[in-house]
Chain A
Amino acid sequence: MDYVSYLEYKGKHKGLLGWLLSTDHKRIAILYLVSLIVFFLVAMTIGFLMRLEMLSTGKTIVNPQTYNALFTLHGVIMIFLFIIPGIPVVFGNFFLPIMLGAKDVAFPRLNLLSWYFYIFGALLVILSLFVGGGPIDTGWTFYVPYSLRTQSNVTLAVFAAFVIGFSSILTGLNFIVTIHRMRCPGMSWFKMPLFVWGLYSTSWIQLLATPILGITLVLIMAERLFGIGIFDPALGGDPLLYQHLFWIYSHPAVYIMVLPAMGLVSEIIPTFSKKDIFGYGPIAMSSLAIAFIGYLVWGHHMFSTGISDTSRAIFSFLTFIVAIPSGVKVFNWVATMYKGSIETRAPFLFVVAFIIVFSIGGLTGLVLGSLNTDIHLTDTYFVVAHFHYVMFGGMGLLFFGGLHYWFPKMFGKMYNEGTAKFGLLLFVVGFNTLYFPMFIMGYLGMPRRYYDYLPEYKIYHIISTVGSWILIAGILILIINLVRALLKKERLTEKNPWGGTTLEWQVDTPPTLENFEEIPVVEHGPYYRDNLIKPGKSH
């Protein structure tokens, strides 16, 4: 049979429709990829504008109401349209079936539907900017009672988030059934790649946490439209119950963001260490542990809100516990690299940057998780720095890292590695210049979401804003480098450019419509190499 890549495959529909109506998991992944990058760039631009505003006290380029709308939108778009869908919908969709030795996911049409929910929700977010009372200004957390009273377009924006939630649920559902039912012969649970374990744990969170956000958002709409009064203090409601319900989803949501990224690290490190992974079992189980314990810590977002002392102590304790499985992963990754034959290719450098940046973010999370320090640091820039280090330095960095790892396989083109490494360098320098001063000014008392500030913080804001320019330059270089590679005429046909061991490196570059001509039969673990480097032996 002649080789036809999934990019060139001509099915029932032609041209653009062949992409918009395709149920091929690979094409759906590309649809998501384009959408995600577009929304990422939009939210990044909003961030750029925010930092410009913060260059000086008082008004710099926008008025206070606009600033409130900007940071709300930045959060809503980044979180719901980029980070949460993020790695699962692009790399999970593209590679999960291939890594399992399957031809597609369990429910290909539901997969396409999930993208349409995503796009429909995104369009509603855009619509909410122009219709009714204007862009929403509550912060991405939609806290009551302000979200019940403000004239801005809360109902539409919240409905948009509700719709996007369905996309998340369908993706999770699809992946769980795919992993249970479609592993190829020989691939037991403990022979699956660790990226799959990451996706599996993530999918359970997507499935079981998102509905709680769903109902909470429905209640906001019900209160604004019908005056139901469940959270409204004027009608006897308890605003803290809103916060409880909101964070019962939104804390596990951060594990939706980071677990796939950590799974990706577990793929990249063995490939570039030329070595079997150290501690497969613990890494796999730690993903499940993080997913479960992640449900138990949400109160640490509410330490200063007036919840009981007993619950605060319990949540603080549990927050410390959840750090342990992440530590397990880091130790196993380092142990994998030890006495390996390290190749410092671009994807590997992304992972190294991630481990450093994420560790800083994670450690500052412990600072915030301790009750006494949190009282001083909560709602300051310290928190802003913390979550950008873990979310952006974590998932964001690895989204680009994954792109650089799998780009050759997905598109059959190779990018300029020198340029990629340079872009990464600018990214890391810019990132730290942008966010590290925020730790300091937060510690010194600069509140978050504030439009104006005292002159003593000005120097930190200026450094931070300059950092944002360097970071953006790095990101643009990375993206343009990849786009230029796409436009190159020179095709890459090498199936395994990096020397990886998982199944995606055995299929065609790029893969065909059905991935495999014959379903593979697996004998070994996913990182097994014939020339295994054993500890103690030199290469």
Chain B
Amino acid sequence: MSENTHTQQHPGYGLYILVWAGLVGLTTITVALAGFNLAGLTVVTALAIAIVKSLLVTNYFMHVRTDSPVFRVFIFVCIAIFIVVIVLTFFDLTYRFPLK
């Protein structure tokens, strides 16, 4: 059995362009927001928008949405390890350099 190539339904041109428009829109928003003083929320909002953009690129441009679920598992494992490592590192930093 060949599951090569043509059994996957890749998006048409229109969907790609729509995603691109969303990406450009989100970029505009994130640049505009930089002008405001959001204090503690600055990093969180910037990261949140970046994450949404990445999800768009990953799911639609990189076809993760329509591909075999194994790729989602791979990505999830990678990100889980990254997050766990950064959290553990911050357990050290937040106590060595307490925020005043």
Contact = CB atoms under 8 A, between A and B. Distances in A.
Interface in B66-81: 70, 77-78, 81
A295 B91 contact: no
A240 interface: yes
Nearest to B88: A296
Interface stretch (A163-171, A301-309, A385-393): A301-309
A479 to B, nearest CB: 38
Nearest to B94: A308
A310 B85 contact: no
Interface of A is mostly: helix
A314 B90 CA distance: 12
A311 B70 contact: no
Contact of B96 (A204, A298, A299, A307): A307
Contacts of A314: 88, 91
A210 to B, nearest CB: 13
Contact of B77 (A204, A248, A307, A315): A204
A298 B81 CA distance: 13
B89 A308 contact: no
B95 interface: yes
- Residue of B70, B84, B96 with most partner-chain A CB within 10 A: B96
Interface in A98-119: none
A244 interface: yes
A317 to B, nearest CB: 12
A122 B2 CA distance: 42
A298 B85 CA distance: 10
Contact of B70 (A180, A208, A244, A309): A180
Contacts of A308: 91-96
Contact of A311 (B78, B81, B92): B92
**Size class of the A contact interface (CB-based, 8 Å):** 10 to 19
Nearest to A305: B92
Given A180-B70, A204-B77, A295 B85 contact: yes
B84 to A, nearest CB: 6
Nearest to A308: B95
Contacts of B91: 308, 310-311, 314
B8 to A, nearest CB: 16
Interface string A238-268: 0010001000100000000000000000000
Nearest to B82: A208
Nearest to A245: B89
Nearest to B98: A308
B78 A208 contact: yes
A309 B81 CA distance: 23
A9 to B, nearest CB: 30
Nearest to B90: A311
A450 B94 CA distance: 34
A248 B96 contact: no
Contacts of B84: 295-296
B92 A295 contact: no
Given A180-B70, A295-B85, A296-B84, A240 B92 contact: yes
A537 to B, nearest CB: 42
Given A180-B70, A306-B96, A311 B88 contact: yes
A239 to B, nearest CB: 12
B95 A208 contact: no
B81 A244 contact: no
Contacts of B85: 248, 295
A412 to B, nearest CB: 37
B95 A311 contact: yes
Contacts of B70: 180
Contacts of A307: 92, 96
A314 B93 CA distance: 14
Nearest to B91: A311
Nearest to A248: B85
Contacts of A298: 88
A299 B88 contact: yes
A316 B77 CA distance: 24
B97 to A, nearest CB: 9
8 contacts: A180-B70, A208-B81, A292-B81, A296-B84, A299-B88, A307-B96, A308-B92, A310-B91
Given A306-B96, A307-B96, A311-B88, 8 more contacts: A208-B81, A244-B89, A244-B92, A248-B85, A292-B81, A295-B85, A308-B95, A311-B91
For the complex of A and B, the 8 pairs showing the least CB-CB separation, nearest first, are A308-B95, A311-B91, A311-B92, A307-B92, A308-B92, A310-B95, A308-B96, A244-B89
